[in-house]
């Protein structure tokens, strides 16, 4: 190992990073962990980090007396196939409840709902096998989508939830979809106020899941 003075700043940086991470790790050890496995909507695309769903959901849970740590595991652009590929390492072993909020990109790409269902089925099955409670967040396709496709896609989520005893949250974007003041300029991703609306809707469901596990 290099013991020259040049190595000291590097060591100090590494030590500082380790010390900074320690309180969060210690906190997670004493409080239940909720992991949000999702895409750009849950990752907070276009928003400052403190406005993203994990932070806002944790705040709403606190208001309900659920003292949980909410951990973000959202990747922009992820389909259900992407979520399936990373579920085992994105959802860490200390997770008590996992919110599975995937499918929006499947919908945008017009993927076969049967593929979406198969992927979600495997994701939820893996989580349940690890004794992690699951809240499966569905989506309601917009009116411009063909009616037959919309019905088939929307039916995926309750079917998967029922098959695995997961908790169904029927529509992640309830109260936000097509409400201009709650969305960013793309009309799809929620703005900071829209995220709060989503967090307020999700929080009671997640709080009940945590209470059941406790």
Residue 32 and residue 54: Cα distance in Å, rounded?
14
Q: Looking at 78, 90, 106, 189, which residue is catalytic?
A: 189
User: Buried b / exposed e across 44-62, counting CB within 10 Å, b at 16+?
Assistant: bbbbeeebbbbbbbbebbe
Q: Which residue has the tokens 């276009």?
A: 46
Instruction: Give DSSP secondary structure letters for 18-58.
Output: HHHHHHHHHHHHHS-EEEEEESHHHHTTTS-GGGSHHHHHH
Tell me if 70 sits within 8 A of 98, measured CB to CB: no
Give the single-character DSSP code of 181.
G
Does 186 participate in catalysis according to the annotation?
yes
Chain centroid to CA 33: 12
Does 106 participate in catalysis according to the annotation?
no
Give the single-character DSSP code of 134.
E
Crossing angle of the two packed helices 113-129 and 147-164, in degrees rounded to 10: 20
Q: Looking at 40, 76, 94, 140, which residue is catalytic?
A: 40
Catalytic residue annotation: 40, 186, 189
């Amino acid at each position: 190992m290099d013991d020259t003075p040049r190595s000291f700043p590097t060591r100090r940086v590494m030590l500082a990073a380790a010390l900074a991470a320690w309180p969060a790790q210690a906190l997670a050890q004493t409080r239940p962990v909720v992991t949000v496995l999702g895409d750009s909507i849950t990752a907070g695309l276009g928003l400052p980090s403190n406005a993203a769903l994990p932070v806002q959901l944790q705040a709403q849970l606190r208001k309900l007396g659920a003292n949980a740590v909410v951990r973000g595991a959202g990747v922009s652009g992820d389909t259900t196939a992407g979520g399936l590929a990373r579920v085992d390492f994105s959802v860490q072993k200390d997770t008590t409840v996992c919110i599975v909020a995937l499918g929006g990109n499947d919908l945008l790409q017009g993927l076969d709902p049967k593929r979406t269902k198969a992927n979600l089925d495997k994701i939820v099955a893996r989580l349940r096998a690890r004794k992690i409670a699951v809240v499966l967040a569905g989506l309601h396709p917009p009116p411009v989508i063909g009616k037959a496709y919309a019905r088939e896609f929307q039916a995926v989520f309750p079917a998967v939830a029922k098959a695995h005893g997961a908790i169904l949250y029927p529509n992640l974007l309830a109260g936000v979809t097509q409400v201009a003041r709650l969305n960013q300029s793309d009309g799809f991703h929620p703005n900071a106020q829209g995220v709060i609306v989503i967090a307020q809707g999700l929080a009671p469901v997640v709080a009940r899941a945590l209470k059941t596990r406790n």
